[in-house]
Each structure stands twice: as structure tokens, then as C-alpha cells.
Amino acid sequence: MADHGWQQSVLRGIGMRSEAMARLHPRAYLLLTTILALAGFACLALFPLLVMAGVAGMYRALVNIPDIAWTRLLVWALVTGLCGLVSWRIARFRPSLPAGVVVEREQAPDLFGLVEDTAEQYGRTGVDRIVMTGGYQLDIIKTPVTALPVWSTRSLVIGLPLMQCLSSQQFSCLLARRLGQFSKRSNLLLNWLFELRDIWPRYRKAGVGTDPGLLPVRLLFSVYAPLYTVVSTAAARLDELQADRYAMEVCSDEEVLETITTAAVHHLFLREKYWPAIRRLGVRQAAAITKTNTGIMTVLRAGLQEEKIGEWLDKTMSMEQQWNDPNPLLVQRLDNIGHTHARMHAHTGELATEDYLPASGQHLKAALENLPSSGYSQAQPWSVRMAGLKQKLQSALRSPRAGEVNQGIK
């Protein structure tokens, strides 16, 4: 999280206590989290309510003619004016859609077909748009179409690195997992709490640099949004476990076992080996690099050969739960689907990108190659972060041995 110092300490303490409460008193925890989730709606409704209170206050101040309470009248007039301005700004505010490369149906018809067929398996409509990013993710993000998060559009956000790391079958399994989770057939409350974790932080940045009228909203949500995110972390883990069970409705438990294991190991490998190696090379060199996303699989195949998979499996299975991580541990996920041992095989077949991002979409391919990746530090502009990488990695990522990057991750 972005908070530091005493704020981080306070949030950590709240997070630890919320996790303990979820474990010892799950019903009370869900009730508390639901009340806290509703408080976000109350925060948005606060300013219109203050407008009504201000109008009523001005009316009462004017009733006692000729002994008008001028001081009270002026105070309520000021409150009404300021809150009216904020209410008007809130009514006009529209959260931004997830950033990334928007994929059109004609660019990836098989991908759209897969999404629609999978959604139909759960008796739900598909998504409104598909967005590719440079992160390791496959999420459904709801974006409210009005100021209040009641009606929303659904964006399927797919990270190119994830498609580079998984086979077509594994990608289909993860997609089923996420679409099933958002079908809300048996997890209505949990998924509602889960999706608000993406929605409330957007009000924290509402109108930054462009609309000072939303400053009170930003200040209010700068306190509320981090608090809700921390308290709802345990609920998010429960919903992620529900998602794994949804995947088993359309995939075999063996497929789900291998998929979630492979995705978890690749995520850990990229986080601890690949991106740190990229950053180290960026410090040493001052040239530019392309295809840090589309060249990931070359490095994965070199770094996760059969003789090394066991080591990475053990490392993934022995990880400790972080207080602010909404993803449950792999060992918990395996137990949730009735398994005790992880299973993963080295990649030998086609990748999801080869099946669902066809080579004919050259414009899409070019856009994806230039996606900013989550593996870079956010402290530097993208052009600066890319400046030190081209000479070291341009040829390395195209070679079977993955050049210096592979040497850096062994």
C-alpha cells in the first residue's frame, strides 16, 4: 500500500485484528465489513444530506421575523453553498475505466468467443470490454456509470504476462474461475465486498489536479478507502477461495490443481527473479528495450525447467500470508479444492497468446509490446525506466538461452 510511517502501522494493526476476527468470529466479521462497505455510500450521500440540512437551517433562521438569526443564517448559507457545489461535482463524477489496450472483437474473435461461452456456462452475460495490461493479472473490474456505484460496466482485465505464462487450457480455467466468481450464485455478499475494493479507492483520486470541488470527497475517501481495503482483505480471500470452487464446475479438479499451482509459481518467479533482473540491468545500461512483456516465456522456460520446478513449488507452498494480501496462500487454495500436494509441469505446448491473440492482429501486437509493465518502479517515468534496457535485453529475450536476463535469474 502507498501509506507510510504511522499510517501504515495503524492499518497493519487494524488488518491483523480484522484477520483474527474473521478467523474466530466469521459472522460478526462479515457483519462489520458489510456495515463498513455501506459507509462508503454514506460518505457520498453526506454532502447532499448537508445541503438539505442547510436549507432547513436557513428556513428556521428566517422564521423569527423580524428577529432573524443572521449569524446562523450566514453559517447555514455557507454550508449549503459549499455542500451544494460538492454535491453537483459528485453527480458529474464518473470513475475512469481501467487503463490498458482495449481489444476489439475483430482483433481477437477467439478470445471473445471463449469469454462468451464461459460466461454462458454460469448463466450470466459476458463482459462489456476486454483490456490488456502489462501486469500479471486476470480480473473483472466494475466501473460505475453514475456517481453512486449501483450500475456498472464490466471490464475483463487480462495481463499479457499471464497469457505469456499459461497454456490455452490453463488460461481457460483461470477465466472460468473469474467469471464464475462474478456470477454471484453462492457468493453474493462476498463478491460485492470484493468488487468494492476496486471501486472505493477511485473516489480517493476523484478530480485530482482538475476539480478542486471534489477535494472534500478526496479527503474523506483518503481515510475511508484504505480502511475498507484493509478490513475487507479477509473477505477477499474467502471470495478467492470461492472462485477456485467455481472453476471446478467447468474444469476437472486436476486441471484446476495444475492451473492454480502454475499461475502461483509463475507469479512468484516473475516477482522475485524476472523483474528484479530487469531492474538491475536497467540501472547498468542507459539504452531502451522493447518486448519485456512478450519475451517473458523465453526466460520462464529457461528458469523453470523440470529440475527446478520442485524447488519453486516448495518455495511457493511455504510462503507466509501477508496481512494486506487479498490472495490466499497456495496451500490454503489446494486444501480448498481437496488436494494436499501441488502439481506443475514444464511448458512444452502452445501458449494462450498463440491461440487467443492471433498473429494477424499486428496493430494489437504492436500495442501490447509497448505496454508498461508492473515490474518497473513507479517512481520513474516510463520513458526513463525503459531507457536502460534495450541493448542488454533486445537480443537476449529473442535467444533461446535468454542471454543476460537468464544469467541474472539463475
> What would the pLDDT profile of 303-331 be if each residue is shown by its tens digit?
777 778 888 999 999 999 999 999 999 99
Indicate the fold that domain 101-206+232-247 takes in CATH: Zincin-like (3.30.2010)
The predicted model gives 126-142 an average pLDDT of: 91
Instruction: Give the residue extent of every domain in the chain.
Output: 5-92, 101-206+232-247, 264-409
For the chain, give the percent of residues with pLDDT over 70: 81
State the DSSP H helix or E strand holding residue 316, giving kind and residue range, or none if neither: helix 306-317
State the DSSP H helix or E strand holding residue 144, giving kind and residue range, or none if neither: strand 138-144
Amino acid 21 reads: M
pLDDT over threshold 80, residue 342: yes
CA–CA gap between residue 404 and residue 402 (Å, rounded): 7
pLDDT over threshold 90, residue 52: yes
Q: 70-84, 208-222, 335-349, 386-400: which has the highest mean pLDDT?
A: 70-84
* In contact, 239 and 374? CB cutoff 8 Å: no
- Supply the DSSP symbol for 288: -
CA–CA gap between residue 296 and residue 109 (Å, rounded): 24
At a CB cut-off of 8 Å and minimum separation 6, what does 78 contact? Answer: none
Cα 377 to its chain centre, rounded Å, is 17
Read off the pTM.
0.84
Backbone angles phi, psi at 290, to 5 degrees: -120, 165
Q: What is the pLDDT of residue 374?
A: 58
CA–CA gap between residue 260 and residue 254 (Å, rounded): 10
Q: What is the pLDDT of residue 281?
A: 66
Q: Given the C-alpha cell 455501506, which residue does it identify?
A: 38
pLDDT over threshold 90, residue 134: no
CA–CA gap between residue 169 and residue 352 (Å, rounded): 8
What are 390-407's pLDDT values in tens digits?
A: 443 444 444 444 454 455
DSSP secondary structure, 347-363, as one string: --S-BHHHHHS-TT-HH
More confident site: 180 or 207: 180
Q: Which residue pairs, CB below 8 angstroms and at least 24 apart, start in 327-335? A: 327/237, 327/240, 328/237, 328/240, 328/241, 330/260, 330/261, 330/264, 332/237, 332/241, 333/240, 333/241, 333/244, 333/260, 333/264, 334/257, 334/260, 334/261
Beta bridge partners of 140: 156
pLDDT over threshold 80, residue 222: yes
Q: Which residue pairs, CB below 8 angstroms and at least 24 apart, start in 189-193? A: 189/30, 189/34, 190/235, 190/238, 190/239, 190/242, 191/239, 191/242, 192/37, 193/33, 193/34, 193/37, 193/232, 193/235, 193/236, 193/239
Q: What is the pLDDT of residue 1?
A: 44
CA–CA gap between residue 358 and residue 351 (Å, rounded): 11
Give residue 158's pLDDT band: very low, low, confident or very high (50, 70, 90): very high
What are 352-372's pLDDT values in tens digits?
A: 888 898 765 566 666 766 666
pLDDT over threshold 60, residue 381: no
CA–CA gap between residue 231 and residue 229 (Å, rounded): 6
Pull the grid cell for residue 117: 461461452
